[in-house]
Amino acid sequence: MQPGTPDDDWREDCAPRRVLELFATKWTSMVLHTLHARHDGAARTGVLQRSLPGISKKMLTQTLRDMEGSGLLDRLVRSTMPPAVEYRLTELGRRFVEPVELLYGWGRDNADALDQLVPRPGSRRT
Protein backbone atom coordinates (compact mmCIF):
# COMPACT_ATOMS: atom_id res chain seq x y z
CA MET A 1 0.00 0.00 0.00
CA GLN A 2 2.55 2.53 -1.11
CA PRO A 3 1.66 6.19 -1.50
CA GLY A 4 1.60 5.82 -5.25
CA THR A 5 -0.89 3.01 -5.35
CA PRO A 6 -4.32 4.33 -4.54
CA ASP A 7 -6.35 1.52 -3.07
CA ASP A 8 -9.32 3.58 -4.07
CA ASP A 9 -12.39 2.06 -2.67
CA TRP A 10 -14.02 5.15 -4.02
CA ARG A 11 -14.35 4.62 -7.72
CA GLU A 12 -17.02 6.86 -9.18
CA ASP A 13 -19.47 4.02 -9.60
CA CYS A 14 -18.66 1.91 -6.57
CA ALA A 15 -21.39 0.71 -4.27
CA PRO A 16 -20.59 2.90 -1.27
CA ARG A 17 -20.70 6.02 -3.32
CA ARG A 18 -24.07 5.12 -4.70
CA VAL A 19 -25.39 4.59 -1.22
CA LEU A 20 -24.21 8.04 -0.38
CA GLU A 21 -26.31 9.39 -3.20
CA LEU A 22 -29.32 8.16 -1.35
CA PHE A 23 -28.48 10.49 1.47
CA ALA A 24 -27.47 13.31 -0.79
CA THR A 25 -31.07 14.25 -1.36
CA LYS A 26 -31.96 15.80 1.95
CA TRP A 27 -35.36 14.29 2.58
CA THR A 28 -35.20 10.84 1.04
CA SER A 29 -33.85 9.01 4.05
CA MET A 30 -36.27 10.74 6.36
CA VAL A 31 -39.21 9.72 4.25
CA LEU A 32 -37.97 6.17 4.30
CA HIS A 33 -37.66 6.20 8.04
CA THR A 34 -41.02 7.82 8.60
CA LEU A 35 -42.80 5.25 6.49
CA HIS A 36 -40.87 2.48 8.14
CA ALA A 37 -41.82 3.72 11.57
CA ARG A 38 -45.48 3.24 10.73
CA HIS A 39 -47.07 -0.10 11.42
CA ASP A 40 -47.93 -0.81 7.81
CA GLY A 41 -45.14 1.05 6.09
CA ALA A 42 -47.56 3.50 4.60
CA ALA A 43 -48.74 7.04 5.20
CA ARG A 44 -50.78 9.74 3.59
CA THR A 45 -49.26 12.92 2.26
CA GLY A 46 -50.36 15.09 5.13
CA VAL A 47 -48.96 12.73 7.71
CA LEU A 48 -45.63 12.74 5.97
CA GLN A 49 -45.57 16.48 5.80
CA ARG A 50 -46.31 16.81 9.49
CA SER A 51 -43.75 14.18 10.34
CA LEU A 52 -41.01 16.09 8.60
CA PRO A 53 -40.77 19.51 10.23
CA GLY A 54 -39.35 22.03 7.85
CA ILE A 55 -40.12 20.34 4.56
CA SER A 56 -41.89 22.40 1.98
CA LYS A 57 -44.78 21.14 -0.06
CA LYS A 58 -42.63 21.33 -3.14
CA MET A 59 -39.80 19.27 -1.78
CA LEU A 60 -42.17 16.73 -0.33
CA THR A 61 -43.83 16.12 -3.66
CA GLN A 62 -40.57 16.19 -5.53
CA THR A 63 -38.93 13.75 -3.18
CA LEU A 64 -41.90 11.41 -3.28
CA ARG A 65 -41.98 11.52 -7.07
CA ASP A 66 -38.31 10.75 -7.32
CA MET A 67 -38.60 7.91 -4.87
CA GLU A 68 -41.56 6.53 -6.73
CA GLY A 69 -39.58 6.68 -9.93
CA SER A 70 -36.71 4.89 -8.28
CA GLY A 71 -39.02 2.17 -7.09
CA LEU A 72 -38.61 2.92 -3.43
CA LEU A 73 -42.31 3.43 -2.85
CA ASP A 74 -45.70 3.04 -4.43
CA ARG A 75 -48.31 5.72 -4.77
CA LEU A 76 -51.91 4.76 -4.14
CA VAL A 77 -54.48 7.29 -5.16
CA ARG A 78 -57.96 7.06 -3.75
CA SER A 79 -60.08 9.21 -6.04
CA THR A 80 -62.45 10.41 -3.40
CA MET A 81 -63.28 14.00 -2.76
CA PRO A 82 -61.10 15.38 -1.40
CA PRO A 83 -58.49 12.99 -2.73
CA ALA A 84 -56.60 10.69 -0.42
CA VAL A 85 -53.14 9.62 -1.50
CA GLU A 86 -51.12 7.01 0.26
CA TYR A 87 -47.48 6.17 -0.06
CA ARG A 88 -46.24 2.73 0.70
CA LEU A 89 -42.77 1.25 0.87
CA THR A 90 -41.95 -1.24 -1.82
CA GLU A 91 -39.82 -4.29 -1.34
CA LEU A 92 -36.87 -2.28 -2.57
CA GLY A 93 -37.81 0.55 -0.28
CA ARG A 94 -37.87 -1.68 2.76
CA ARG A 95 -34.44 -2.76 1.82
CA PHE A 96 -33.05 0.73 1.81
CA VAL A 97 -34.59 1.45 5.14
CA GLU A 98 -31.82 -0.66 6.56
CA PRO A 99 -28.91 1.74 6.08
CA VAL A 100 -31.15 4.58 7.13
CA GLU A 101 -31.95 2.88 10.40
CA LEU A 102 -28.31 2.11 10.82
CA LEU A 103 -27.45 5.78 10.74
CA TYR A 104 -30.47 6.70 12.77
CA GLY A 105 -29.47 4.29 15.48
CA TRP A 106 -25.89 5.41 15.51
CA GLY A 107 -27.01 8.98 15.92
CA ARG A 108 -29.16 8.21 18.91
CA ASP A 109 -26.32 6.34 20.56
CA ASN A 110 -23.79 9.05 19.90
CA ALA A 111 -25.55 12.29 20.59
CA ASP A 112 -22.60 13.34 22.71
CA ALA A 113 -20.21 13.11 19.79
CA LEU A 114 -22.63 15.07 17.68
CA ASP A 115 -22.56 17.84 20.23
CA GLN A 116 -18.82 18.10 19.82
CA LEU A 117 -19.15 18.21 16.07
CA VAL A 118 -20.55 21.51 14.90
CA PRO A 119 -21.69 22.73 18.33
CA ARG A 120 -23.77 25.44 16.79
CA PRO A 121 -24.56 26.45 13.23
CA GLY A 122 -22.76 29.37 11.63
CA SER A 123 -19.36 28.80 13.18
CA ARG A 124 -17.44 27.80 10.09
CA ARG A 125 -15.00 30.62 9.88
CA THR A 126 -15.81 34.29 9.80
Partner DNA sequence: CAGTATCCGTTACGATACTG
Partner DNA sequence: CAGTATCGTAACGGATACTG
Contact residues for DNA, defined by CB under 7 A: 24-27, 44-46, 49, 54-59, 61, 64-65, 75, 77, 82-85
Shortest distance in whole angstroms from residue 41 CB to DNA: 16
Distances in Å between the Cα of 89 and the Cα atoms of 22, 24, 50, 65, 122 are 15, 20, 18, 13, 36
**CA angle centred on 13, ends 10 and 15, rounded to 5°:** 70
Indicate which of a second copy, DNA, none lies near residue 85 (CB less than 5 to 8 Å, by partner kind): DNA
Which residue ranges make up the site for a second copy (CB under 8 A)?
1, 3-4, 6-12, 14-24, 26, 29-30, 33-34, 37-39, 44, 46-47, 50-54, 65-66, 69-72, 92, 95-96, 98-99, 102-104, 106-108, 110-111, 113-114, 116-118, 124-125
Indicate which of a second copy, DNA, none lies near residue 7 (CB less than 5 to 8 Å, by partner kind): a second copy
User: Parallel, antiparallel, or unpaired: how do β-strands 42-44 and 84-89 relate?
Assistant: antiparallel
Residue pair 31/68 in contact (Cβ under 8 Å)? The answer is no
Identify the bridge partners of residue 42 per DSSP, sorted by sequence position: 88
